[in-house]
Every structure is written in C-alpha cells, then in structure tokens.
C-alpha cells in the first residue's frame, strides 16, 4: 500500500537500483526544475541551494534537476545545503540573534 511507504524507504529502494523508485526521484527532479524555472528566470540568482528533508535524497534527483535547470541564464551553482541536520537550529539562532540587535 502506498500510504505505508515513506520517502526514505523509496530513496533506499532507488539507491538499491529499483527502477520504479529511481523513476520517482527522476520525476521529482524534473518537476521541481519545471516549478522553479519561472522563478529563477524572474529573480536571476547565480546560486540555488536545495535544503529541507528532500535534500537527503539529493544524490538520486540531482541529475534530473540539473538537466531541467540547465538553460537558466546566470545560474552557475546548484547544490545541496550543508549541515542539513543542524539547519533548523542554526536558522533559529540566526533569527534570534538578528532580533536582539
């Protein structure tokens, strides 16, 4: 049943070579790229950093996302966020420090 499987399990299956699971992540990269393209064209960033829980599966959808974003003018860097596990607490600390100034 689909409601009994989570993203981490699909990622594990994709890394193990299961074709359907790999397709899920390839489609994710493509869809994410299609969604982001108009925004990236409008804002013109030079760097895109992917974060959040899905970034733990970066190795599986990176290629399809990069392929979709390959025509964005000026976008030189597409990468995954560093310190994924610590990002929420670091963001909260950064926000709190800024509010105290």
Report, as an integer, the average pLDDT of 22-27.
Answer: 98
Report, as an integer, the average pLDDT of 35-63.
Answer: 95
Checking if the pLDDT of 28 tops 80, the result is yes
* CA 9 – CA 42 distance, rounded (Å): 36
Q: Which two tokens stand for residue 24?
A: 């899920």
**Could you tell me where the beta strands, DSSP code E, fall in the chain?**
47-50, 77-80
pLDDT > 70 in the chain, percent: 95
Report, as an integer, the average pLDDT of 11-27.
Answer: 97
Q: Where are the domains of the chain?
A: 2-100
Which fold, 2-100?
Nucleotidyltransferase; domain 5 (3.30.420)
* CA 94 – CA 85 distance, rounded (Å): 16
Tokens 């970034």 locate to 55
> Which tops the pLDDT comparison, 73 or 4?
73
The residue length of the chain stands at 101
Whole-structure pTM value: 0.81
Checking if the pLDDT of 2 tops 90, the result is no
């Amino acid at each position: 049943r689909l409601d009994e499987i989570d993203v981490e399990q699909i990622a594990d299956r994709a890394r193990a070579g299961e074709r359907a699971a790999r397709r899920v992540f390839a489609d994710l990269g493509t869809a994410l790229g299609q969604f982001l393209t108009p925004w990236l064209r409008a804002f013109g960033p030079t760097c895109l950093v992917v974060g959040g829980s899905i970034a733990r599966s970066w190795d599986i959808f990176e290629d399809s996302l990069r392929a979709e974003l390959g025509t964005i003018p000026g976008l030189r860097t597409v990468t995954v966020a560093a310190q994924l596990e610590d990002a929420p607490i670091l963001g909260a600390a950064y926000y709190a420090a800024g509010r105290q100034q």
